[in-house]
């Protein structure tokens, strides 16, 4: 149901109403350059946390691309702890959007307006992610930003970055609709002998592999319409590995961890 006009107090902008024809054609379409690209452990969409900050082991690298890879462009950024990243959902088909979507937080059973959600299927496939800055470095001529808590797929094009400002960006008293609380991440994760052995063998180059997988899977990345079923085997690509897992007796069972094909 739409709100009635009389339910809102008068505003200074009430007379600022424009017709579509008031928007010049040149101002309706834009072309942007990617200023950078994300290097991430998540090699596919499946398994990526649905919001940033849910996995502190989800570390990624933002590589700034020429001509934006100049140290002057990030001067002063080391004084901030967090960063907004504006990016493109490059793994979503262009034009694949709907005015309504089924949010996973509602079990996939209720439709809401796409603009009332953070669905990837939007008129313009643009996303916004808040990450922690872990470091800024120059390596082999490339300007790199290390970030934590990323919910970004490997190869994600980055359109812009801006520092996070607590006084302006944090609103503790804000309402959050159907997503008022963080998702329940209590699903236990159990590693089978083969999977446990791989975590041990890769401890030298991937010391947080076991914790990364545990954090990822306890969030239950299954589609909402499959969450009620158990026994199906899923595959998730991370780092250079393929993780096979299932859900049985209310727990995630990590079956195998093998080299990616």
Quote the domain boundaries for residue 234: 185-259
- Residue that is last in its domain, among 143, 168, 193: 168
**197-246 pLDDT, tens digit each:** 999 999 999 999 999 999 999 988 888 776 667 789 999 999 999 999 99
- Residue that is last in its domain, among 168, 198, 227: 168
Residue 147 lies in a domain: yes
Q: b vs e for 233-259, b when ≥16 Cβ sit within 10 Å of the residue's Cβ?
A: ebebbbbebbbbbebeeeebbbbebee
Query: What's the CATH number where 190 sits?
Result: 3.30.2310.10
Query: What is the model's pLDDT at position 9?
Result: 66
Q: Pairing mode, if any, of strands 60-64 and 142-148?
A: antiparallel
**117-136 pLDDT, tens digit each:** 888 888 898 999 999 999 99
Instruction: Give the number of residues written for the chain.
Output: 261
Pair (242, 145) in one structural domain: no
Query: Quick one: what percent of the chain has pLDDT higher than 70?
Result: 89
Query: What's the CATH number where 76 sits?
Result: 2.40.30.70
Residue 221 lies in a domain: yes
Residue 20 lies in a domain: no
Pair (195, 247) in one structural domain: yes
pTM reported for the whole predicted model: 0.86
Count of domains for the chain: 2
Pair (49, 133) in one structural domain: yes
Residue 66 lies in a domain: yes
Which own/partner pairs from 177-182 qualify as long-range (CB within 8 Å, at least 24 positions apart)?
A: 177/116, 178/103, 178/105, 178/106, 178/112, 179/103, 179/105, 182/54
Residue 9 lies in a domain: no
Pair (250, 148) in one structural domain: no
- Residue that is last in its domain, among 141, 168, 195: 168
Residue 22 lies in a domain: no
Query: What is the model's pLDDT at position 224?
Result: 72
Q: 20: pLDDT confidence band, cut at 50, 70 and 90? A: low
């Amino acid at each position: 149901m739409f709100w009635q006009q009389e339910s809102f107090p008068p505003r200074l902008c009430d007379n600022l109403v424009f017709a579509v024809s008031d928007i010049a054609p040149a101002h309706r379409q834009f072309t942007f350059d990617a200023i950078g690209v994300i290097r991430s452990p998540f090699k596919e969409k499946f398994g990526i946390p649905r919001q940033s900050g849910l996995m502190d082991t989800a570390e990624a690298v933002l590589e700034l691309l020429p001509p934006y890879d100049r140290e002057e462009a990030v001067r002063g950024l080391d004084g901030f702890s967090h960063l907004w990243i504006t990016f493109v959902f490059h793994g979503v088909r262009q034009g694949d959007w709907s005015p309504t979507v089924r949010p996973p937080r509602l079990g996939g059973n209720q439709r809401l307006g796409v603009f009332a959600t953070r669905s990837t299927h939007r008129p313009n496939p643009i996303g916004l992610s808040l990450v922690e800055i872990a470091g800024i470095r120059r390596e082999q001529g490339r300007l790199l930003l290390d970030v934590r808590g990323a919910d970004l797929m490997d190869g994600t094009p980055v359109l812009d970055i801006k520092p996070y400002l607590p006084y302006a960006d944090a609103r503790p008293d804000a309402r959050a609709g159907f997503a008022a609380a963080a998702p329940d991440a209590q699903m236990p994760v159990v590693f089978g002998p083969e999977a446990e052995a791989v975590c041990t063998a890769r401890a030298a180059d991937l010391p947080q592999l076991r914790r990364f997988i545990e954090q990822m899977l306890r969030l239950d990345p299954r589609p909402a319409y499959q969450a009620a079923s158990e026994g199906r085997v899923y595959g998730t690509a991370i780092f250079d590995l393929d993780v096979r897992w299932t859900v049985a007796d209310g727990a995630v069972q990590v079956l195998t961890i093998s080299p990616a094909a």
